[in-house]
Structure 1
Amino acid sequence: MFTGIVEELGEIVAVEAEGDSAVLTIRGPLVTEDAVHGASIAVNGVCLTVVDVKDGTFTADAMKETLDRSSLGALEPGSKVNLERPVRLSDRLGGHLVQGHVDGVGTILSREPGERWDVVTVSLPGELARYVVGKGSITVDGISLTVVDAAADRFSVALIPTTLALTTLGHKKPGDPVNLEVDVVAKYVERMLGDRAAGAPDPVGGAA
């Protein structure tokens, strides 16, 4: 589990294709300080498992499903990536609950520079539109953001100077893909309401 607060702007060192999967080598001196084999690190919002750690870099396997359902398949040596270690139970929840499971890929549609922040509009896959609301939370490339406006096929977010300086969204341009993860709480609520509408029994001890 993550919070969407990016710890470090890392860099892809190497991408090695292995059949229908790939091995990514990623530079991230901060996130590798306490990383060990089997640890989890979010890369542009995708939870990956650390295979090896060496000299401030780590390697991780990306399966075909991950490459097909996220923007990781477009990464190449030199690409910048957002990195975050899992949240500890003792940590403050600075963003929102993020699983590191990408729900879809959007595309940067436009950027409107302001004096201190940019407003960025991102395309929204139709099947995700019902989970995205104004002033709600969404994860874009692993970054916890607040939705400014939401429509059936797009949404906008305002990026403060810190986000512009310390994450990939400071460098993304119209046409670039981004990983999207909607608020998991919304998905659970939808599932529970659907079960009740279908007449599913309440859990043992639940209210009638």
Structure 2
Amino acid sequence: MAPKLSEDEIDDLLYFARTGDKAEFNALKDELCKRENVREGRLLEAAREEESGNGILHMAAANGHSDLLCELCKSLYAPTGPQNPELLSILNSQNKAGNTALHWAALNGHLEAVKVLLEEGADPTITNQRGHDAVFEAEVNDKREVVEWVLKEGGEVLESGVAGGEEREREGEEVGDEDEGMEEGSGKEDVMGEDGVAGEGSAKLEKKLGEMDI
């Protein structure tokens, strides 16, 4: 049975994930899990913003809180091993724009968060509603460190999933309030970036793949 969370409780969980306040987040998470008699995974699945579909991992990833992401993933480990259906489902959960936590970490250039998500089993081949995977978003937002690391470390999985030589149409539209986070102390919105020119990102990624020994 899904936990019954109030709108304020969901907002608080998302806010603490967004700011990376682990102490406040864990205190509220433990209190709600005990009250609702649910495991952490059920709470993470339920704590989503209704309008945007954003979850706790989206907020932590968008703002580069790799330590919180690592802690959350470890809390979902199964007795038989780290990766399990529940963890993978939460890791790869898409918001209403089709973006996963990995999309957000990649396009905002948060390499350590990208590393945690991929190491825990995030799928880099998932595309959002624009047909963009996480590495493509990083590429068109000029997050070169993320692109180069992921392409080098991702191996054959990324080679088959990234870009794929497929033409991508330019939409030139910034994702708005439904798809944004906030970096604490930055004074600016940490939003999903604009789309690139059709095919440009794909061509660059294919060239990088050809040059790199992966």
Which is helix-richer, 1 or 2? 2
Structure-2-length-normalised TM-score: 0.27
TM-score normalised to the size of structure 1?
0.27
Larger relative contact order, structure 1 or 2 (CA cutoff 8 Å, min sep 6) = 1
- Of the two, which has the highest radius of gyration? 1
